[in-house]
Amino acid sequence: MTSPENPFEASASALGYLYQLRVALQRCVELSRGGIEWSVAIEATDDVQALVGSRTELTQLKKRADNVRLTDLSQDLWKTLRVWSHAVTEGQIDLAETNFYLITTAELPEDSAGFLLQPKASGHRDEQAAEALIVRARQSSKSTTLDKAFKAFDALGEQRRAELISRIEVIGDAPGMDSIREELLGYASLAVERRFAESFLQRLEGWFFERASVQMSFPGSDPVSGAEFDELFNDLRNQIGEHNLPIDPDIAALTAAAPAAADAADKVFVHQLRLIDVGAERIGYAVRDWVRAFAQRSRWVNENLLRAGEIGAYERRLVEEWQSRFAEMREDLGDEAAEEEMKREARLIYRWVDREARLRIRTGCEEVFVVKGSYQMLADELRVGWHPDFSVRLAALLEPAGAADGRA
C-alpha cells in the first residue's frame, strides 16, 4: 500500500516494474539470437529468471537514483544475498547449474565486493577477495535491518557460500530504461527497415508486457518460451515491411460498441444500408468494420507506415472494383424498375462487398476488416453506394448545415 506521506512511492514502484520488463525483454532478444531452446519468467524464483538449456540464470534488478553506491553493507547487496542464500538452502535451485546476476544502476566503489564480482571481461574479478570483504562486512555489522539476510547467508556454510559467490556477477552503472530501449530499438532496426523500427518495437513491447503480466498474475503459468518469442518476432517482422502492414490486436478487438462507434447511427454509410433495408445486426457488423478500418488506417498514417499516396491509390482500386458491378446492376434494372427490385439488386452488390471483395492494400495484408471497413468509409463519402439512386437520395446528408435553407 502506498504511504500517504510519500506520493512518489507508487510511481517509483511503477518505474521499477517497467525497468524489470525492459530488462527481461532485452534478455529475450539476446537469447533469441542463439536459438529457441530457452525460456524467461518474471517474478518466479527471482526478478528475472531464464532457463537456457540445462542452465538457470537468476537476475536481481536494483534501479537506484544517480550517485548511489553499492557498498559491502548496502541493503541492495544483502537483500539479494538473502534471496539467493535462502533458495540454495531450501533446495529451490541447483547451485551447480545456476548463474546469479545482480544488475544495478548504482556505482561500484573500487574497494567493494561488487566491484570485484564484475564479469571476467572487466579485468577486475577476484572472487576470493570479494568473499573476504562480504564476510568481513557481515562480521563487523551490528545492523538489525540486515539481520535476516545475515542469518540466511550464515546458513550456507563455508563451502556453499564460496560456490555461490563464485557464480555471482555484479553489473554496476547498468543502463537505465531509456538506454535499454535505445538498445532494443537497435535490435528492431536489424529486423525491419530502420524507419519502421519504432513501430516494430512498440508492438513487440506491447505483446511482451501483456504476456509477462499474464505470467505474473497466475503463479505456475508458463514462462515466455524461445519458440513462442521467435514466432511472435517473425510474425511482426513479416507484418511490417514492403509487402505487408501490421494489424494490431487492440484494434482487431474493437466492436460496434466501441466509443468511436457512438455517433455511427448518423453516418452516411449507415443511411446507405438502411436505404436498402439491411438489418440492424448486419449494420452493427458494418459499423464494427468501419471502426476497425478507420482506427487501423489512422495508426498506419500516424506511424508513417504508409507510402505517399498509398491510401488514395488503394481507394481508387476499391472504387473501380465497385464501379463495373454497380454499372452492370443499373444496366440490368433499366429505367422502369420498381423500388423493391432496386433494393434487392442493391443488396446483392452489398453482399459482394461483405462476402467476396478482398482487394488488399498490400499483398501480405489479408485482414478482411481493412477491405470491408474501407468500403464503408467510401460509402460514407458517397464515393460508392448500393442503391441505384444512392447519390441523389443521400446527397443532402453531406450538405453543410443550413445550405439548403440559404438557396435562392
Instruction: Please give, one letter per residue, the 3-state secondary structure of 327-351.
Output: HHHHHHHCCCCCHHHHHHHHHHHHH
- State if pTM tops 0.75: yes
| 131 Cβ contact list (under 8 Å, min separation 6) | 113, 161, 162, 165
Q: Are 365 and 371 spatial neighbours (Cβ–Cβ below 8 Å)?
A: no
Task: Give the mean pLDDT of 183-212.
Answer: 94
Q: Are 192 and 237 in contact (CB under 8 A)?
A: yes
How sure is the predictor about 403, in pLDDT bands with cuts at 50, 70 and 90? very low
Please say whether the beta carbons of 47 and 60 come within 8 A. yes
| Mean pLDDT to the nearest integer, 34-45 | 91
Burial class (CB in 10 A: 0-12, 13-18, 19+), 359: middle
Residue 63, helix vs strand vs coil: coil
Q: If phi over 0 gives left and psi between -120 and 50 gives alpha, with beta otherwise, what is residue 170? A: beta
- Kind and range of the H or E run holding 169: strand 168-171
Maximum separation of any 2 CA atoms in the chain, in Å: 104
The CA distance from 129 to 146, in Å, is: 22
Query: Which regions of 33-97 does DSSP assign to beta strands (E)?
Result: 38-42, 48-52, 55-62
- pLDDT surpasses 70 at 12: no
Mean pLDDT of 102-126: 95
Which pLDDT score, from 0 to 100, does residue 3 have?
43
What's the pLDDT score for residue 4?
47
SS3 call for 3: coil
Q: Is 172's pLDDT higher than 90?
A: yes
Report DSSP state, residue 123: S
Task: Please state the rounded mean pLDDT for residues 309-337.
Answer: 96
Residue recorded with cell 507484418: 239
pLDDT for 396 equals 76
For the chain, the average pLDDT equals 91
